[in-house]
Amino acid sequence: MGLRPKWLQFDLSKTEDKLKLFILVSGLLIFIGVATVTAIQLTMYPEFCQTCHIMKPEYRTWQATSHSNIRCTECHIEPGVFNLIKHKIGAMKELYLYATNTYPTPIKMSHKIENFVCEKCHSITTRKFTVSGDIKIPHTRHIESKITEVYCVDCHAGVAHGKISERGMITEGSPTAVKKGDLAAWTLDDGKQQTIREFTKADMDDCIACHVKNKQSIKCETCHATIKTPDNHTPVAAWLPQHGKDAEKDINVCKSCHNYGMTVKQVVHTNKAVAYAWGNEYCVNCHSQAPASHKEATWRKMHKTQVAAKGINNCFACHSQTSKEGPQAPARITCDRCH
């Protein structure tokens, strides 16, 4: 007892000392409560988030988007006092990882943002959506789908941060990342460059992949009001012998439709149309199968005449000239197998 200051010595048999102890404990609890609430309030602001250098890119991209008037916590913490406290306790682990320099890079979210978070501002029932171009997006049908669960962020993942993590822009120390991976060096200009429309808009590849996975139509007219199958694609009998020549004239026309929802490998070849046909899953599916003419009994004798008439490049749509030639063509039979 003698080691404690006199004002901390209490005789609980005395009413006066009981009152002093009550006042001291109450005051201490009030101080802790006020300090905790103040600390929580301070950490609710976006400016606090960017005090950790590893979060600077997220802060800069947020600044540059239409969500810059919405606090981070509005989207990243679910409503309710319990969820707030749960998040703040979890943040202590993040603080430890940061202090010990053991945090993962690039920073990624551990879960998807729930639809109700988005619907606090973006009601699918009362808000009129201004969809770009001729795209048809029945939001209610997607959100209320009984086939699969569709999250708003499945399509709108880049709306607040431009998908900088997914695109490898914030891998610390990476030479291909922004500022060569120096996260603390990000500026507002960097945020603007990484949130241009190309990085914030819904990706058609994701639309196609979801439709294929859930056995929904991927015809152009399913999602587009005006786009239809090009006239030169029909009838098929006329399109088949002509499409390779059209591809050689301008392969970008093919890419404008057939890159979406397909695995496209980068193949090096002197002919751009051939390189595309060898690398695009859509083309390979047909070019790897022998056409009707190749199955005829006279094909072996007649193919020399066909090569002379159509040109050797016609063969290269499916075949490699030699077995040693770079990546394999869709058809595994090479010219040097016989010649």
pLDDT for 193 = 96
Which long-range contacts does 118-122 make (Cβ < 8 Å, 24+ apart)?
Answer: 118/75, 118/152, 118/153, 118/156, 119/152, 120/74, 121/70, 122/152
Separation of CA 278 from chain center:
26
Instruction: Give pLDDT tens digits for 165-183.
Output: 989 999 888 888 999 889 9
pLDDT for 173 = 81
User: Domain locations in the chain?
Assistant: 34-223, 231-337
CATH code 1.10.3820.10 for 34-223 = yes
Longest dimension (CA), the chain: 118
Q: How far, in Å, are 8, 9, 18, 324 from residue 1 at the CA level?
A: 9, 7, 17, 91
Region 215-226 average pLDDT: 85
Give the pTM: 0.66
Q: What phi and psi values does residue 225 have, to the nearest 5 degrees? A: -80, -30
Q: Indicate if the pLDDT at residue 6 is higher than 70.
A: no
Region 256-273 average pLDDT: 79
Put residue 76 in one of left, alpha, beta given phi > 0 → left and psi -120 to 50 → alpha. Answer: alpha
Structure tokens at 170: 């914030």
Q: Indicate if the pLDDT at residue 195 is higher than 90.
A: yes
| Band of pLDDT at residue 326, cut at 50, 70 and 90 | low
Q: At what angle do helices 272-279 and 236-249 cross, to 10 degrees?
A: 120
Put residue 305 in one of left, alpha, beta given phi > 0 → left and psi -120 to 50 → alpha. Answer: alpha
CB 158 within 8 A of CB 200: yes
- How far apart (Å, rounded) are the C-alpha atoms in residues 304 and 312? 10
pLDDT for 219 = 82
Q: At what angle do helices 251-258 and 236-249 cross, to 10 degrees?
A: 120
| Band of pLDDT at residue 264, cut at 50, 70 and 90 | confident
Q: Does a cis peptide bond (omega within 30 degrees of 0) precede residue 330?
A: no
The one-letter amino acid code at 285 reads N
Q: Indicate if the pLDDT at residue 107 is higher than 90.
A: no
pLDDT-wise least confident of 71-85, 253-267, 277-291: 253-267
- How far apart (Å, rounded) are the C-alpha atoms in residues 284 and 319? 11
